[in-house]
Amino acid sequence: MKRKVMVLTGGGDCPGLNAVIRAIVKRASQEDNWEVLGCIDSFNGVLKTPLELVTLDLNSVSGILVKGGTILGTTNKGGPFHYPIKNSDGSWSSIDRSEEMIKTIKDLGIEAVINIGGDGSQRISKALYDRGLNIIGVPKTIDNDLSATDFTFGFQTAVQTVTEDIDKLVTTASSHNRVFIMEVMGRDAGWIALHSAIAGGADVCIIPEMPYNIEKIKDKIEKRYINGRGFCIIVVAEGAYSQSKGKIYQESKEIGYYNEKLGGIGNILMNELIDAGVKHDIRLTVLGHVQRGGTPIAYDRILASEFGVKAFEMVLEKKFGQMVVYRHPEINSVSFDKAIKEPHLVEANSRLVKTAMGLGIEFGN
């Protein structure tokens, strides 16, 4: 009988997930007698009847290093603790299927589970570990909002995507003497906005950690024009908000989706600037899920590969209840408690913010 480890990807996808899966399989193949099973669509593969599990061998991971998304599929809805069920009257509610799921995994002879996911997924990992599952976490997210690790894979690819698109906006903005607002992802963290604003040479960077005052942004825009000629690039994080109005988000109507839906601040900002008297043409680009797609850049392929190798070695060492982390210069691990304790947010007095200010980037706060 082969020893079994189960791998799954949870939450929103990001570039580099396949590189982690591949690294786990490659490292496992160096040990005698291990079988890697992939669970389809996060934990749904072991919650469904019939089960949706696939055997992952060197053949099945060949060529996936460069592929975006995840070959296992993923979801950021439901989960073992809030599994959606349809009631007889057509309405939806949720039930806790965690105990039943842990029993299924153990009955299958699976010794360990590797959950590749962001903060929400690692909260699930911790709760499952507390209920007796041998589980290890691998941090992923384009948002880079996990405090225990210097970087999550997927983040640098998202920054690269945004930066390349800012470069494109600069050419059209300067040709038309326009103000361009680029709304980017990141949830409550301004990392994507901050990094891409610096890399793309933006004039204004608006992030959730530093609520804005519209007059300061207006002043910056005016400084970018001489006799009506000029242009201005504003990068705004989806979770940003004004000092006067506070945070905006919507409740999702999708079944089993419990995240706050962000997005829309770019449009609000554009209207506020017009109301504040900005007379230059303003155009808005909302980059959206483009930031999560496509092939991972080399940095993310390397980090993801390091995380995958480490995760399997943690299985061998029985280091359960821990999440892999990158703390320069080491790849290490921390307990789930530490991993999910607090979010990784931009600090106003941090090195990168100071660099941005030194470049004349206006935060509008």
User: What number of residues does the chain have?
Assistant: 365
Mark the segment that binds ligand F6P (CB under 6 A) among 34-42, 138-146, 218-226, 267-275. 138-146
Examine residue 208 and say whether the peptide bond preceding it is cis (omega within 30 degrees of 0).
no
Q: How far apart are CA 242 and CA 246, in angstroms?
A: 6
Nearby residues of 289 by Cβ (< 8 Å), 6 or more positions away: none
For residue 143, indicate whether it is catalytic.
yes
Q: How far apart are CA 201 and CA 167, in angstroms?
A: 8
**Buried residues in 71-83 as b, exposed as e (16+ CB within 10 A):** bbbbbbbbbbbbb
143 binds ligand F6P (CB under 6 A): yes
Chain Cα centroid distance, residue 206: 19
Q: How far apart are CA 365 and CA 208, in angstroms?
A: 10
Secondary structure class of 28 (helix, strand, coil):
helix
237 binds ligand F6P (CB under 6 A): no
CA distances from 260 to 38, 238, 248 (A): 29, 12, 9
Nearby residues of 98 by Cβ (< 8 Å), 6 or more positions away: 80, 81, 127, 128, 131
Mark the segment that binds ligand F6P (CB under 6 A) among 81-89, 179-187, 265-273, 347-355. 179-187
Tell which one of 46, 65, 142, 146 touches ligand F6P (CB under 6 A): 142
Whose tokens are 């945070």? That residue is: 247
Q: 190: number of CA atoms within 13 Å, CB side?
A: 24
265 binds ligand F6P (CB under 6 A): no
From the list 41, 119, 143, 300, the catalytic residue is 143
C-beta closer to ligand F6P: residue 266 or 321 = 266
Secondary structure class of 210 (helix, strand, coil):
coil
- CB of residue 238 vs ligand F6P: minimum separation in angstroms? 6
Name the pairing type of β-strands 92-95 and 83-86: antiparallel
Residue 94 sits at φ, ψ, to 5 deg, of -135, 155
C-beta closer to ligand F6P: residue 15 or 321 = 15
Mark the segment that binds ligand F6P (CB under 6 A) among 98-106, 167-175, 183-191, 298-306. 183-191
356 binds ligand F6P (CB under 6 A): no
- CB of residue 55 vs ligand F6P: minimum separation in angstroms? 28
C-beta closer to ligand F6P: residue 232 or 265 = 265
12 binds ligand F6P (CB under 6 A): yes
- At residue 87's C-alpha, the angle toward residues 84 and 89, to 5°, is 145
183 binds ligand F6P (CB under 6 A): no
186 binds ligand F6P (CB under 6 A): yes
Stretch 102-121: interaction string toward ligand F6P, x if CB under 6 A: ----------------x---
Number of residues that bind ligand F6P (CB under 6 A): 12
Q: Are 16 and 304 in contact (CB under 8 A)?
A: yes
Residue 237 sits at φ, ψ, to 5 deg, of -75, 145
Mark the segment that binds ligand F6P (CB under 6 A) among 84-92, 130-138, 185-193, 346-354. 185-193
Mark the segment that binds ligand F6P (CB under 6 A) among 101-109, 140-148, 201-209, 267-275. 140-148
Nearest to 21 by CA among 76, 69, 82: 69
Tell which one of 44, 141, 144, 157 touches ligand F6P (CB under 6 A): 141
Residue type for position 293:
G
- CB of residue 281 vs ligand F6P: minimum separation in angstroms? 28
C-beta closer to ligand F6P: residue 224 or 292 = 292
Residues 67-86 close enough to bind ligand F6P by CB under 6 A: 76
- CB of residue 258 vs ligand F6P: minimum separation in angstroms? 11
Tell which one of 53, 110, 185, 353 touches ligand F6P (CB under 6 A): 185
User: Catalytic site residues?
Assistant: 143
Residues that bind ligand F6P (CB under 6 A): 12, 76, 118, 141-143, 185-187, 238, 262, 292
